[in-house]
Amino acid sequence: MQPFRTILFAADFSENSQEAFRAACSLAVETKSRLIVLHVVEPSCVAKESVSFGQPTVRLYSKRDESRHEALKRKLGEVFTSSHPMDVQYHTKEGDAPAEILRMADEIGSDLIVMGTHGSTGLRRLLAGSVATAVLRGAHCAILAVRPHVRPLKGEEIRVVLHPTDFSDGSEAALRVARSLARDHGARLILLHVAPSRVFVGGVMTAEPDLRDSLDALESARAVTDGSDLKYPVETWFSRGMAPDEIVRVAEEVGCDLIVMGTHGRTGLGRLLMGNTAESVLSETGCPVMIVKDSQPVSSTSNPPAGRQVVTAI
């Protein structure tokens, strides 16, 4: 079973959005998915009644300008044209960008939402980041967020896939997606677990985490993930420290082309912690990040052969 059947691309005409579109096209071609391009604009509002000078309030209503939307669709077709032979559909909506993106994703049964985020500072970054964060928190499917970075994501150039895991259900769903992508692209797949550092209070160590369970769980994850259909044996990395910092550091060290990680679809402390980790990685890393919700349907892994292991301890 292919990991993605329908990909929704959120377009905003920025330079980074075009880079994200190339990533969406590459994934759509590799997974034989249909690609939907959506652009959300501010609604056109007109007064419901005549307005007199000095009138304290004005009642407005939204009026869709079809000629405006047709022009936008033509522009989408000109700017976002795939270099691959594929069918791309273009849509426009009016309203709040995150809400319309999420509504469209549900309407078309999207398996993946692809969008760019801005790496600049100031208000522009804040607004773009807010859209990406709102979509990440509200989506029922996987999200691929592409920031301006040195290593562009192109289907034929996905060589290293990094999967940070905390062994939760959300991580397992993301692992299945990471494995499928590594298999389809002939890429290295690296599983990373970050354990907490030693805890000091007033210069005195108060806790020393038992790492044996984490190391055993990491080896078990490698064993069930590895298989003869992968080009390279699955690798495992073990690190200690703050999870977002270590994920970003390891991704840079291994030359990662894509990070695939999970976030919990339920409420409570678990979702808060994992969601914060995902958002922190998304804002700091120099490569694309795919966030997979634990309800995401993905292809199953094969039974692993014995004797294939690469472990790097940090």
pLDDT in tens, 237-257: 999 988 899 999 999 999 999
Q: Are 112 and 143 in contact (CB under 8 A)?
A: yes
In total, the chain counts a number of residues equal to 314
Range 204-209 average pLDDT: 60
pTM of the model: 0.78
Residue 239 confidence (pLDDT): 92
173 pLDDT band (50/70/90 cuts)?
A: confident
More confident residue, 120 or 29: 29
Mean pLDDT is lowest, of 34-38, 107-111, 166-170, for: 166-170
Which superfamily does 1-47+62-148 belong to? HUPs (3.40.50.620)
pLDDT surpassing 50 at residue 84 = yes
3-state secondary structure of 152: coil
Longest Cα pair distance anywhere in the chain, in angstroms? Answer: 82
Residue 18's φ and ψ, nearest 5 degrees, are -65, -35
More confident residue, 48 or 133: 133
pLDDT surpassing 90 at residue 114 = yes
Tell me the domain boundaries of the chain.
1-47+62-148, 155-314
Query: Does this chain's domain 1-47+62-148 share its CATH topology with 155-314?
Result: yes
204 pLDDT band (50/70/90 cuts)?
A: low
279-288: per-residue pLDDT in tens?
788 878 888 8
Q: Are 226 and 234 in contact (CB under 8 A)?
A: yes
pLDDT surpassing 80 at residue 76 = yes
The contacts of residue 266 (CB under 8 Å, 6+ apart) are: 294
Which superfamily does 155-314 belong to? HUPs (3.40.50.620)
Q: Are 40 and 101 in contact (CB under 8 A)?
A: yes
Mean pLDDT is lowest, of 14-23, 41-50, 133-142, for: 41-50
Q: Are 144 and 112 in contact (CB under 8 A)?
A: yes
93: left (phi over 0), alpha (psi -120 to 50) or beta: beta
Range 185-204 average pLDDT: 81
264 pLDDT band (50/70/90 cuts)?
A: low
Radius of gyration, CA atoms only, the chain = 22
Residue 148 confidence (pLDDT): 66
pLDDT surpassing 70 at residue 156 = no
Residue 253 confidence (pLDDT): 95
Residue 87 confidence (pLDDT): 82
Residue 59 confidence (pLDDT): 54
